[in-house]
Amino acid sequence: MASSPNLFDTIAAIATAIGDSGIGIVRISGKGALSVADKVFVSKDKKKPSTFKAYSTHYGWIVKESKVIDEVILTLMRSPRSYTKEDVVEINCHGGIVALRAILELVLENGCRLADPGEFTRRAFLNGRIDLAQAEAVLDIIRAKTGPALKLGVEQLGGALSREIGKIRQELLEILSIIEANIDFPEEEIGALDLAALAGKSEAVSKKLNDILRSSERGRVLREGIGVVICGKPNVGKSSLLNALLKKERSIVTPIPGTTRDTIEEVIDIRGIPVRIVDTAGILEPRDLIEKEAVLRSRRQIDLADLVILMFDGSRGLDAEDKFMMRKIKRKTAIAIINKIDLPQRAQKGEIAESFPRLVNLSAKKNKNVDLLEDTIADLIYKGGIHDKESILVSNLRHIVAIREAQKLIAEAGQSLDNKLSLEFVSQYIRDALGFLDNILGKDSSGDLLDKIFSQFCIGK
């Protein structure tokens, strides 16, 4: 995206995913949206879109040189009561790519420019309909992999985080105004400055930010998920476990050791947590170049994983390969699985439990106790804590970093007040803290930051 897109252009893009579907949408936004619609849309009642009422839908056809391109429903939203606060027209057509592209090309020929990635949402931000934190929540909603992640995105789009940051920002401004008044007008009778009271207010603000930060780990997990690797020697049931967790047959399962010769990755929902789960090749001693590459990939995945699931075959005793894997992941956060509990047991469970206190006995093939593994994963991630539904969850790393820096500065301000240091120091700490909070909301954002954020969006949103 260009650093300074022309906000006076009328823009258009396909707003739905490309592929065969029942409905597709071409979205148009800008001052010329209605005039473009007048040129390409013929309504059943022969009226022009520029005469339609706001928030109305109309049946008709998209026509080029008297030739019908598609039968459509046109929806009109007038400025400022639209997503971008501009005139917006949405053409709901059939979802095939040929129809969508034909309509898009036609509106581009009649006065529109192809929208940049995220430009509709960027206009919503620049036109004051949403702040920057809400704009970023749009992307979170699009990318949500679980119900809780979607709920978090919707809450932030609705302004939950923005309102909380706004309240804190207002409290800081009140503290700053008192300090600035005493700095600028020391000779005026504005009342004795109560340093202890100001320090208390600063401490209260610092605590509020700290409370938000405490939720950040869970928020980031809901937003980004965690990486989990299933590992173990050949034929312990890794692929069977992946299939049991997926509740479908994604991996090939055979009694032949070493069937999986490459990593297999899927995203699953475990108690509301997006889990990127990887089934690795169990080959320890490669016999050819393909198996050598499989081993290297497996090891890389284990090194990068947030959580490792190490599997053992309960019907067999521990051998050198099992113990090698135990040493390999000793320093990783891990859950041990003793699989095949439907068979006579020979595994040394005590030795495994000594190295891995988180131990689950299950049968992946019979789908027995797989739910206990899911509970163990969830408990480990949430650390047994119960989330306060009234608290604000922050999930975006940019927001977390800004809040953390603001909290540090406010704590410094409070300490400076306690130590009766110069008010100029205190004032600067609070001003810098306000700068970090403003950056979350987009009150003082550089073009480079906006480019970086909105370039992650798809075209049409």
- Mind listing the pLDDT tens digit for each residue in 170-186? 999 988 888 888 877 66
Question: β-strands 359-361, 11-14: how paired?
Answer: unpaired
CATH for 11-131, among 3.30.1360.120, 3.40.50.261, 1.20.1050.10, 3.40.50.720? 3.30.1360.120
Average pLDDT along the chain: 84
| Pair 110, 88: CB distance under 8 Å | no
Question: How large is the average pLDDT for residues 206-233?
Answer: 85
Residue 277 and residue 265: Cα distance in Å, rounded?
A: 6
Identical fold between 139-215+392-442 and 225-382: no
Spatial distance between the Cα atoms of 230 and 282, rounded to a whole number of angstroms: 9
pLDDT greater than 50 at residue 256: no
Rounded-to-10 torsion of CA 51, 54, 58, 63: 60
Residues 140-160: pLDDT tens digits? 898 888 888 888 889 889 999
User: How confident is the model over 83-103, as pLDDT tens digits?
Assistant: 999 999 999 999 889 999 999
**CB 161 within 8 Å of CB 399:** yes
Domain segments of the chain as ranges: 11-131, 139-215+392-442, 225-382
Collapsing DSSP to helix, strand or coil, 42 comes out as strand
What band does 32 get if pLDDT is binned at 50, 70 and 90?
A: very high
Alpha helices, DSSP H, located in 419-460? 423-441, 447-454
Q: Give 115's contacts (C-beta < 8 A, 6+ positions apart).
A: 11, 12, 13, 27, 29, 459, 460
The pTM of the full predicted model, rounded to 2 decimals, is 0.75
Cα 225 to chain centroid distance, Å, stands at 9
Does residue 252 register a pLDDT over 60? no
What is the model's pLDDT at position 186? Answer: 60
- Which helix (H) or strand (E) element contains residue 26? strand 24-29
The answer to whether residues 126 and 145 touch, using CB atoms and an 8 Å cutoff, is: no
Q: Residue 295: its pLDDT value, please?
A: 63
**Which among 39, 34, 31 is positioned nearest to 10, based on CA atoms?**
31
Neighbours of 65 (CB within 10 A): 5
Q: Which CATH superfamily is domain 139-215+392-442 in?
A: tRNA modification GTPase MnmE domain 2 (1.20.120.430)
CA–CA dist 345, 447 (Å, integer): 63
Q: Which CATH number fits domain 225-382: 3.40.50.300, 3.40.50.10950, 3.40.190.10, 3.40.50.10490?
A: 3.40.50.300
SS3 139: helix
Q: Are the C-beta atoms of residues 138 and 37 closer than 8 Å to each other?
A: no
Distance CA 78, CA 196 (A): 53
Q: Are 433 and 214 in contact (CB under 8 A)?
A: no
Q: Check residue 54 and give its pLDDT.
A: 93
What's residue 243's pLDDT? 87
Confidence of residue 420 (pLDDT cuts 50, 70, 90): confident
The CA distance from 216 to 329, in Å, is: 27
CA proximity to 231, closest of 312, 293, 296: 312
